[in-house]
Amino acid sequence: MIEVVNKLKYINFLFLLIFISSCSLTKGLKEGEYLLYDVKIEGNDRSNRSELLNLSRQSPNTRIPLLNTSMGVALYRFGEWTYDSTRHLSKKEKLLVERKAIIALEEENEGLEKKERKRLEKINSNIASLEKKLEFGNFFMRTGNPRVIFDSLKAEESSRQMAYYLINNGFFEAKTEYRVNKKRRRAWLTFLVEENAAYRIDTFYTRSDDENIYEILNRSIRNSNIKAGNFYNQTAITQERQRVEDVLKENGYYTFSRSYIEYNVYKDTVEKSVEIEQLIRKPSFSDVHQVYYLDSVYFSVDPPSAEFIDEGEKSRFRDIQFEFYQDKYSEKIIASRIFLNKDDLYSRRDVIETQRQLANLDLFRFVNIAFDTLGNRLRPRIYTQPNQKYQVTNQLGASITEQVPGPFFSHSLRNRNLFRGAEIFEFFFRAGLEGVVSATGEGGVFRSRELNTSASIIFPQFLFPTGKNSLQKLGRYNPNTRTLIGYNYVDRPEYIRESVNGVIGYNWSTRNLRQQYTINVLDANFIRSNLSSEFRELLEGLQAQGNNLINSFLPSYVSSVSGQVIINFNQYGAFQKNKASLWRLFLESGGTTLNFVDRQFIEQRNLAYFQFIKFQSDFRRYIPISKSQTLAYRLNLGLARPYGVSNGVLPYEKYFFAGGSTGIRAWQPRRLGPGSFTPQTFEDGTFDYRFEQPGDILLEGMFELRSKIYGYFDGAFFIDLGNSWTFQEDASRPGANFEIDRFWREIAVGTGLGLRMDFDFLVLRLDMGVKAVDPARPIGERFILGRFFNSFLGERGQTVFNIGIGYPF
């Protein structure tokens, strides 16, 4: 009976949530309690307003606009209604008694049977879950948030923290206080800031009795975070302390730490300036800080347990003593990733780089570096343990395209140290179904079968002569060569397309990891297509109008040479708290080698060949606005131009397509444009977006404001704009070509809202895109956003839902 009641509670959850949401946030407050309705700051002219607001110990609940209610509070209230702490306490007590009995049995019998051990593990897991519920509440309480009630003590503490912040940023005479306006059980909190004068740095100098330290710091003074003329900033002093420690550790000072650095600040209250003295204190045991040099290196691949301690093999290469367990590794390759040399001055940068590059080989579970000290000599000892030889990963899931789910299965195999030269062998297989719209004009959604498999070997070096000692010199840049052979199969209602491809590519990155480079010296594809009769008729009809797209489906050989550079500013894509950017540049030259082959030789083969140039520039930027809001945008430009034997046609995979969940989200994938081309219409006059629209030029701009809602839920408001075009006029698609005097009138604009569930390790995304400006319509009728409000979700095809994993950019 109890289970039935609980089920009914959750079945009626939605209705209850709506009911609770309709309740006022101020309903049920106790006498003297006031809902914190708004927090703002007045009086700050030069200090950062958002950073000051972040210091407030209380923030108002996120409310639904124009309503005195909050979904987060509604969830929390529902959680309180269904939460029963006594039931959880009772369960915990029973489990504790049972666990105690099993532990007693274990002590009595000196062990447990398999069934009893599993039960003990289950009990421990259940107890941990109950303790979490007792401390933080149930799922709804943890996901939502309680009402924020104004607390004068927290307001006072927030005011003090704001004063400390202002002093640390040069406003030494700043004052802060707060004011509260209370009305209708609500409190409006205002922090009043009096900044007064901001102090500037007049002089900054270093004092040290160690002449060597003084000279080292003097050489790097241009990189100092403290500069005369700047406003005083405590953060700059903290950063400078860390910088000085880093500089000295790069120059042999192994035992130096920032605790030896002291700063004295002398204020001039008349001139409103400060003098900053940086003092390097002596160690307590000596008059100077010791400079250390390296001895020979010891490198060990440890066995998985002490039982195999005697099975190691010892060798020596380049002043490095190696000791391997079982598997033979290439001393030459490993030595190229070790940047610690005998008699070199100790450098922490070389230690960190050695650790990182050895980890990049993906051969070891961990890489630890320790030092034995004797006088002013350090002997590096590098300890590792072999990673598992084989790694198998299987995935079963579903992808969603065209709003239709399709199952897929993928399998990958990784074999480490294939030829005992640190090579990595990778095998990949994927098979799946996807929902696609027929391009032959037939209605409905069809299943597309896809299968792709590949095998590749990654060599931890460049496979071409680079001169003597080149392996050691290039080791800092994590060089590798990837060779790949693959097979792809696609079965759509219109065609079956098969391809066999081979790739030889070189990859490396800069020492600071900000730039990553890739050069594919060979990317060869043999492609064969089998067209349905209806699709062939469609392509032949386009060909009669001057569109040679049918040539993209001829049996063909597509080869290219390509290069890519990715510039990552401030770790874009990591846990973002600061501004970050990423810029990807890609250049591809297809069929270049055909320029050196006689044209008659090409024509005698029964394969279509292509020559083309393709370029893409993709820039992304992430800007935190406040603690709970960020602005992200993406600018994407693409150009692809066929020439020579291509006869004005690109390989189908090399075209650009606009629209989709990572592009202009108000249009279905690959359906926008090109230019002002007007698609066919249905009987009701709305556009038929069943046809893919390839283009030679792509221009996209996506802008997204992301905000925390509550718990795992984030919201987004976005505006996307862009389109695709062709270089040449297309008789089958009037208005498709790019013209400088009209392209700006053909920019499509979409807007919409997004909902994301961010679990840190996984982001689930739902975006609703709405067409605002449609360039396919006549001039003067292209702004159609108002039609969205005339009927539910607007006219047919105006609203598009996109489901995806991860952020769009």
Tens-digit pLDDT profile for residues 258-314: 999 999 999 999 999 999 999 999 888 888 899 999 999 999 988 766 555 556 678
What's the pLDDT score for residue 575?
A: 55
- Where b means 16+ CB within 10 Å and e means fewer, 682-712 reads eeeeebebbbbbbbbbbbbbbbbbbebbbbe
Calculate the average pLDDT of the chain.
84
- Of all residues in the chain, the percent with pLDDT exceeding 90 is 41
Is 480:507 a contact under the CB 8 Å cutoff?
A: yes
Given a cut of 60, is residue 441 above it in pLDDT? Answer: no
In the predicted model, what is the mean pLDDT of residues 13-30? 59
Of the listed ranges 133-142, 369-378, 687-696, the one predicted with least confidence = 133-142
What share of the chain in percent tops pLDDT 70? Answer: 89
Phi, psi of 538 (to 5 degrees): -65, -45
Whether the pLDDT of residue 399 is over 70: the answer is no
**pLDDT for the residue 249:** 94
Report residue 439's pLDDT band, with 50, 70 and 90 as the boundaries.
very low
pLDDT for res 517? 95
Location of structure tokens 């009138």 = 745
- Nearest CA among 30, 137, 14 for reference residue 80: 137
- Exposed, middle or buried by CB within 10 Å (0-12, 13-18, 19+), for 787? middle
pLDDT tens-place string over residues 644-657: 888 888 988 899 99
The residue written with tokens 């976005």 in the block is: 718
Asked whether residue 491 carries a pLDDT value surpassing 90, the answer given is: no
Q: Angle at CA 544, nearest 5°, toward 542 and 549?
A: 40
The residue-averaged pLDDT of 669-690 equals: 81
Predicted confidence at residue 155, as pLDDT, reads 93
Query: What pLDDT is stored for residue 436 in this prediction?
Result: 52
457 pLDDT more than 60: yes
Neighbours of 466 (CB within 10 A): 13
∠ CA 192-198-203, nearest 5°, is 155
pLDDT computed for residue 454 by the predictor? 95
| pLDDT tens for each residue of 540-566 | 887 887 777 888 888 888 889 999 999
16 confidence band (pLDDT: 50, 70, 90): very low
The residues that bridge with 178 in the sheet, in sequence order, are 191
Average pLDDT over residues 82-111: 81
Residue-wise pLDDT tens digits, 600-625: 666 666 788 889 999 999 999 998 88
Q: Is the confidence at residue 121, as pLDDT, over 60?
A: yes
Looking at residue 1, its pLDDT comes to 45
Cα–Cα distance for residue pair 483/455, rounded to 1 Å: 8
Residue 225 has pLDDT above 90, yes or no: yes
Query: Which H, E and C letters describe 428-492, residue by residue?
Result: EEEEEEEEEECCCCCCCEEEEEEEEEEEEEEECCCCCCCCCCHHHHHHHHCCEEEEEEEEEEEEC
pLDDT higher for 387 or 684? 387
Q: What's this model's pTM, rounded to 2 decimal places? A: 0.76
Give pLDDT, residue 756.
86
- Position 243 scores a pLDDT of 94
